[in-house]
Amino acid sequence: MSVLIAGSIALDNLRTPFGSRNYVLGGSAVHASLAASFFSPVEIVGVVGEDFPKEHLDFLNSKGINTNGIKVLKGKTFHWEGFYEYDMNMAHTLRTDLNVLASFDPVLLPEQKKTPYIFLANLDPDIQMKILAQLENKSLVVADTMNYWLENKKPSLLKLISMVDILVINDMEARELTQEPNLIKAAQIILGYGCKYVIIKKGEHGALLFSNKFAFSAPSHPQTELVDPTGAGDSFAGALIGYLSAVKDINFESLKKAVIIGSVIASFCVEDFSIERTKNLTKKEILMRYSSMRENVAFGDIESNLIKEGGF
């Protein structure tokens, strides 16, 4: 089943303690699409300027990502400049040039309207809903957001949340959105807004998956190679929707695996700048890291005879 992914397509300037890169391929839709492409054909929806290198489009196509939904507009491609300190959980923005993204008005192609699996990467929630309104055959909709929208477009964001199946959000945003510091309670509040599932991304601390009935605590890969966190969250969500579109059956078991496979692909994404690591990722590497994550969290049942009632 194919996946539709809408979001930003960017040329990024990145600086981390491990180096810097200028005008490299980035953007939420790019990272998410590349991650999803390991599991499913992808329809990418976005906008670029006339400066966008054709080689990037060729590369995306080579990965099974249909770029017919990328509109080329007069002007420059969206450009983000940011840096990270040693605490790489926090991106510091130096400059955001929206450029052509400012006039992004997504109109889906006829064949895209039938796509059943959807990831709405971080965008203005009104634009996200505009895409949703064009979809005719939705099986599963996943949406991401960021603090900017919950501070500036909260009513639209709350409406969007009520219309999607899965909201992915990071821990700080979940706390800010709900004004509740306890993440478990924050998740319950978000579920109350009307989505079926919420996934709270905690960076190096893994992720939490909640529905009204169950909770799952996912570890992170014990990461020693951390070069550039840009795109980690989008890789996570892209792999998640890609996997779910391949497995089709949406239930607690498949959702848990989807969260782990999302973490696996994200953990590769951060090992190099831009898409440098992910573009060459092999099936064997994915399988090995998935297995090692299972091993890293497995533990046995407790011997109940060793516990004494009321103390020794």
**Contact with its own copies (CB under 8 A) among 94, 102, 107, 297:** 297
Looking only at the bridges linking them, the beta strands covering 140-144 and 166-170 are parallel
**Any contact of residue 75 with its own copies (CB under 8 A)?**
no
Show the tokens assigned to 143. Answer: 């949406």
| Long-range contacts (CB closer than 8 Å, 24 or more residues apart) made by 202-210 | 202/170, 202/171, 203/89, 203/170, 203/171, 203/229, 203/232, 204/89, 205/171, 206/263, 207/236, 207/259, 207/262, 207/263, 208/183, 208/184, 209/255, 209/256, 209/259, 210/184
Nearest distance from C-beta of residue 74 to its own copies, angstroms:
31
Strand arrangement, sheet containing 78-84: 19-26, 10-16, 78-84, 91-97
**Any contact of residue 83 with its own copies (CB under 8 A)?**
no
For its own copies, the binding residues in 235-294 under the rule CB under 8 A are 243, 246-247, 253, 256-257, 259-261, 282-283, 286-287, 290-291, 294
Q: Please, which residue, 97 or 176, has the CB nearer to its own copies?
A: 176
| Rounded Cα gap, residues 230 and 127, in angstroms | 23
CA nearest to 49, candidates 78, 21, 24: 78
Q: Please, which residue, 79 or 221, has the CB nearer to its own copies?
A: 221
The CA–CA distances, whole Å, from 256 to 189, 208, 229 equal 21, 10, 23
| Rounded Cα gap, residues 43 and 37, in angstroms | 10
Nearest distance from C-beta of residue 108 to its own copies, angstroms:
20
Q: x/- contact string, 87-126, with its own copies (CB under 8 A)?
A: x---------------------------------------
Total site size for its own copies, rule CB under 8 A: 65
The pair phi, psi for residue 303, each rounded to 5°, is -80, 105
CA nearest to 125, candidates 139, 108, 146: 146
**Contact with its own copies (CB under 8 A) among 57, 183, 189, 191:** 183
Show the tokens assigned to 37. Answer: 């492409």
For its own copies, the binding residues in 20-39 under the rule CB under 8 A are 34, 37-39
Q: Please, which residue, 125 or 203, has the CB nearer to its own copies?
A: 203
Stretch that binds its own copies, among 8-16, 24-32, 132-140, 215-223 (CB under 8 A): 215-223
Q: Please, which residue, 89 or 96, has the CB nearer to its own copies?
A: 89
**Contact with its own copies (CB under 8 A) among 18, 92, 152, 185:** 185
Q: Which residues bind its own copies (CB under 8 A)?
A: 34, 37-42, 62-65, 86-87, 181-185, 202, 204-206, 208, 215-220, 222-224, 226, 243, 246-247, 253, 256-257, 259-261, 282-283, 286-287, 290-291, 294, 296-304, 306-312
